[in-house]
Amino acid sequence: MKVFNNSFTVGTNKRCEMIDITDKIQDIIGDVGISEGTAVVYCPHTTAAITINENADPDVVHDILLMLSEIVPHSHSGYRHSEGNSDAHVKSSIIGCSKTIPLSAGKMQFGTWQAIFFCEFDGPRRRTVHVQITGE
């Protein structure tokens, strides 16, 4: 079994946004030449996340961010964390810091409308994404 590690940066422009990173991940998979295996996409930041969802209709991203802001508002009188980004930590924990995607014939095995998104909850910032490809 082969294991390849790669990293890239994502520049975010808003406090909260979701950026489609699917093509970047697929390029990395193509570069390493793994045909069958898995790709793990990991975000090493406590106020950002990785998710898989629909990329065909931008309203889906809007709706996800809207509901997260309603569930976990930016300001709340009960927050104790002094940096002013408590909501970003909670949103990151809800969404999660990584996803594992099966690979077959060198392609990620997605449904028709699925894509990988980097989720920013405390931007704008320059972020890192790690990708580990395992397989043959």
Count of the separate structural domains present in the chain: 1
User: Where in the sequence is the domain holding 44, given as residue range(s)?
Assistant: 2-74+82-135
pLDDT at 38: 98
pLDDT at 30: 96
pLDDT at 64: 98
Tokens of 96: 């999660």
CA distance 111 to 91: 25
CA distance 2 to 82: 44
Examine the pLDDT at 10 and tell me if it is beyond 90. yes
pLDDT at 67: 98
- pLDDT one-digit tens code per residue, 70-116: 999 999 999 999 899 999 999 999 999 999 999 999 999 999 999 99
Q: What is the average pLDDT across 33-40?
A: 96
Q: What is the average pLDDT across 112-125?
A: 97
Short-list 23, 21, 19, CA closest to 31: 23
pLDDT at 82: 87
DSSP bridge pairs for 17: 120
Is the CB of residue 12 less than 8 Å from the CB of residue 121?
no
pLDDT at 22: 98
Give the domain CATH number at 98: 2.60.120.460
Is the CB of residue 20 less than 8 Å from the CB of residue 116?
yes
